[in-house]
Structure 1
Amino acid sequence: MRLSTFQDGFSAALWARDVGEAAAAHAPWIAALQAQPGFAVYRNTVLQACIDALQASYPTVCQLVGENWFRAAAAVYARAEPPDHGALVEYGAGFADFLAGFAPAAGLPYLGAVARLDRCWTECHLAADAPALNRTGWARQDARALAALHLRPHPAARWAWCADHPAYRLWQHHREGLPWGDSLPWVGDGGLLARPQAAVAWCALPLAGCVLLDACAAGEPLEAAATRALTADPGTDFTQLLGTLLDAGALAVLRPDRPPTSPAETP
């Protein structure tokens, strides 16, 4: 038997309740493997490891819905989307999208957006180290060349905008254990997470900031990126917004090279 055939069959036995008659006819050992009591224990252990990994990566979601609800939903996700990598700390990239379309979560329409912020934290934590552009570095730039300058988001910067729900404020209050007060304004908001040094930090980010970072990530020069940001929110104080990004460590140190190469241009 080829190794790939065994691996495919073992995976089918591990995650599928029934491999089907056709598969069993071609590989009767799969059915025999599923019938072993010890394999059932192993299957359950693997599933529990996936659920544990999701709970560790999405603590805010777990706080919002409770542990029992979360683990039941995580089990559904894990069976549908088993990990494809041995490092479970990276597992669950699609969990936010899953929650957004998960029928039992229909009464919590903000849950997917909160989950995306939990995922942003994980990605920030795992991202590559790199120096961040600060106000001193920015002040050294030639003002005459700023319009054509290509800013790059820091490798550990992540941002998210939710137009319909205060996802960032919900996420922030749970992460920081903040008191809720009398009421929470139910308006859309955004958040920025970055790790310019050792620890992940976060702050609120307006729509213009999210649009600006999106444009910079796409390789647009500063003038075009700023135009997009100000079109999205004409009342934005651009100088203040840029200061927020610099103070948060959301921008990478500028390099005296040509604009970032698009994936299609990469040799």
Structure 2
Amino acid sequence: MNLSLGQFQDAFVEALYQRPAPALASLTGQAGFAVYRNTVLSGCVEALRANFPSIETLVGPGWMHEVTCAYAQQTPPEDPRLIHYGAAFPDFLQALQASHDLPYLAEVARLDEYWCEAFSAEQDPCLSLAELAGMTASDLARGHLTPRCSVRWQWFDPHPAYSLWRVSREGLPWSPEQPWVAEGALLSGDSDGVSHQPLEIGACTFLDACAAGHSLQVASQLALQRQPDLDFSDLLGRLLQAKAFRPLTFA
């Protein structure tokens, strides 16, 4: 069978990940191809272990190796920058929940994925407190705060996903006094690395509204509707310190 270059490449990738590639039977039957295949899969597995260290801490190296091999065979990398590999891994873990019985595992994996995204994202300009000096309350209300490309956040209900992620990633013991409640998380990347902090539900609502293009006035109202006791001044100070926003814009 004569294959075009594109057909050969597609079949070659299928064979690498142990899927049927009958057109390349003469090639895949050679002993050397098995070595090459194992090398490629090992590279994928090691990339997943590096990108999701919290998951390996929670499930152990044996189960992690098994599940990453399965994921790599099903979902090969599409980007040569392997820090981007595993975007669908949290969903893959969610689909396997019956086999691990850890309902929070996919949420912790999502935070590992957010860390990789925040670390590797474009470093766009950030808003500083000094830029807000001299603005009236009316000016601020009309302004729009856009989260930076390197900022990720999410509210996780009903598990303390952020606390589980933090202690797993940093190798800390789990405190028996830690309450088992819903949590939010903020991750922000800059030239110094990735910072992270817990977020209340109102803060996550505020960031969602900002990302959706709402004005500061509307975003703050939505946040307070979701969490009436939210200290908005404190929240804004924390978000500015985390370099969460691009410079203020006006519609």
- The TM-score, its normalising length taken from structure 1, stands at 0.87
Deviation at 1:207, TM superposition (A): 0.9
CA contact (8 A) 2:119 2:190 kept: no
Partners of 1:152 and 1:66 in 2: CA distance: 39
* Paired letter, 1:11: V
Alignment of structure 1 residues 80-99 onto 2, 5 Å: 80-99=74-93
**Deviation of 1:104 (Å):** 5.0
User: Secondary structure at the residue paired with 1:202?
Assistant: strand
Match of 1:2 among 1, 4, 9: 4
C-alpha distance 158-226 of structure 1, shift in aligned 2 (>3 A): same
Specify the code of the residue in structure 1 equivalent to 2:166: Q
Change (3 A) 1:197 1:12: closer
Matches within 5 A, 1:1-267: 1-19=3-21, 24=22, 27=23, 30-255=24-249, 258=251
Q: Which portions of structure 1, spanning 4 or more consecutive aligned residues, are displaced by more than 6 angstroms?
A: none
SS in 1 for 2:126: coil
With 174-183 and 33-42 compared, the bigger mean Cα shift is at 174-183
Unmatched 5+ stretches in structure 1: 259-267
Q: Which one scores higher on RCO, CA 8 angstroms, separation ≥ 6?
A: 2
Q: Which one is further off, 70-79 or 221-230?
A: 221-230
Q: Does 227-236 or 115-124 show the bigger shift?
A: 227-236
The equivalent residue for 1:264 is none
1:67 maps to a residue whose letter is P
How many residue pairs get aligned? The number is 249
Query: Is this contact kept in 2: 1:166–1:189, CA < 8 A?
Result: yes
SS in 2 for 1:74: helix
Mapped partners of 1:18, 1:131: distance in 2? 48
Deviation at 1:248, TM superposition (A): 1.2
Query: Which whole-Å CA distance do the structure 1 matches of 2:128 and 2:156 have between them?
Result: 27
CA distance in 2, matches of 1:181, 1:12: 46
Tell me the secondary structure at the aligned position of residue 174 of structure 2.
Answer: coil
Percent identity between matched residues is 44
Gaps spanning 5+ residues in structure 2: where?
Answer: none
Higher strand share: 2
- TM-score normalised to structure 2 length: 0.93
Higher mean C-alpha deviation, range 42-51 or range 140-149: 140-149
8 Å contact 1:13–1:33 — kept in the other structure?
Answer: no
Opposite residue 5 of structure 1, the aligned amino acid is Q
One-letter identity of the residue aligned with 1:8 = D
